[in-house]
Amino acid sequence: MAGRGGATGGYTDGHRHTRAGESSAVLTERAPAKVNLFLAVGSRRSDGYHDLLTLFETVPLYDEVRVTIRPGAGPGWVFRASATAPSIAPRLTLPTGLDNLAGRAAERFVAAMLETASFSGPPATIEVSITKRIPVAAGLGGGSSDAAAVFRALQGYYGNPLGKEALAGVAAGLGADVAFFLHTGRAVGRSRGEKIEPVPAGPPLPLVLGLPAFALRTPDVYRRLDLLRPTGPGAGLPGWERPERDLAVLLRSLSSGRLSGVAAQLRNDLQEAALSLRPELAEALKALRRSGCLAALVSGSGPSIFGLAPTLEQARETARVVSGRLPAGLGGELEFVPLLSRPDPLAALGELH
Ligand code: C5P
């Protein structure tokens, strides 16, 4: 029997449960990717993170996250996680168990639930298995989105034991991007990126995503940025004094659908650092621009890239021709996908059920 699982579009193939946490269930959630349309990076803080002002945009490229819950199956709470590699993937071993962010999400969720709710059910074995389509370590937020999908599934199964704030706190503790994926759509992120303010959806954007077969580790990219930046007393951060104003201009262009205005305001302060680690990406950005995109940018810490096209038709055409315009050596390393960013994919999913 299929019924609605989480609050945001999951579905359940399992036994209906009468009391939260007492019968087995298999819940499936779709976990979308994101790109950053704007990413201003401030100074390194004492906790090692950097202050950010960013604009997240959800894109319809999904991992499938399956959460199986078997109450009373183990000696106590047991958490397992595994993932299958996406079709385009760097040669990385995908982490399993509590090394996988989604496995850790299950563990942290249960710890918070046991602390804050009057939960009286039996301990369960919780198994997360992920079919990856979002490239890993690519700047598309796949791991963070998988973790948020686990939260949605467990909130649905256990009857929303965590309030909004408690859940946002657990999400922020897991990683800077996880809180965004509890909202999805289009949202501004501040502080480490975990303070989220949803933005009303304007028209969706025609994009060409460049999915990489190689990885960049986020901490390496931030470290490179610190090295590239001017140091010493009085050495300001270029552009950091007015990112709020620039973001406001971008948001106005987005809500009116003026794509030339959007193109002019796209920004990623991590791009220079990502390009200095993978210089050939600069050629790929040029190829996107030469193939009809109004602008092209690295997404987050990279190495995935995206181009903003004037129309979806043009995005399709660009995706078709751009590979032929890449320098030799980059050819098989990037796969281009045309799509319309879908600012509220989970709400849209809900309509399907
Ligand atoms: O929180 P998350 O695990 O996604 O962050 C990975 C790494 O990226 C951090 O350990 C840090 O080195 C860097 N980072 C940062 N500032 C942010 C977000 C991430 O320096 N706002």
Å from CA of 176 to ligand 1 middle: 6
Q: Which two tokens stand for residue 134?
A: 């979002």
The span from the CA of 124 to the CA of 291, in Å, is 52
Q: Relative to the CA of 44, which ligand 1 atom is closest?
A: 20
Q: Say if ligand 1 is within 6 A of residue 193 CB.
A: yes
219 C-alpha vs ligand 1 centroid, how far in Å? 6
Place of tokens 């007393």: 233
Cβ atoms of residues 206 and 338 within 8 Å: yes
CA of residue 131 to ligand 1 center, whole Å: 25
- Fill in the amino acid letter for 256: S
Ligand 1 atom having least distance to the Cα of 52? 21
Tell me, using a 6 A CB cutoff, whether residue 177 lines ligand 1: yes
Question: pLDDT truncated to tens, each residue of the chain (353 aa)?
Answer: 333 333 334 444 444 444 677 899 999 999 999 999 999 999 888 999 999 999 999 999 999 999 999 998 888 999 999 999 888 777 677 889 899 999 999 999 999 999 987 788 899 999 999 999 999 999 999 999 999 999 999 999 999 999 999 999 999 999 999 999 998 899 999 999 999 999 987 899 999 999 999 999 999 999 999 999 876 555 556 556 689 999 999 999 999 999 999 999 999 999 999 999 999 999 999 999 999 999 999 999 999 999 999 999 999 999 999 988 998 778 789 999 999 997 765 654 443 32
- Number of residues in the chain: 353
Alpha helix stretches (DSSP H) within the chain: 101-116, 142-157, 164-174, 178-183, 218-228, 243-256, 259-265, 271-277, 280-290, 312-321, 345-352
The whole-model pTM stands at 0.91
- Cα separation, 310 vs 313, whole angstroms: 8
For residue 233, the model assigns a pLDDT of 55
Q: Which two tokens stand for residue 123?
A: 């301990």
What's the distance, Cα to Cα, between the start and end of the chain in Å? 13
Q: Atom 10 of ligand 1 has which residue's CA nearest to it?
A: 219
Task: Kindly state the helix (H) or strand (E) to which residue 175 belongs, with its residue range.
Answer: none
Q: Which of 34, 63, 132, 269 is catalytic?
A: 34
Question: Does the CB atom of residue 269 touch ligand 1 within 6 A?
Answer: no
pLDDT score at 239: 52
Phi, psi (degrees; rounded to nearest 5) at 93:
-80, 125
Indicate the top mutation candidate among 181, 196, 222 to test ligand 1's pocket, ranked by most ligand atoms within 8 A of CB.
222
Confirm if 36 and 177 have CB atoms less than 8 A apart: no
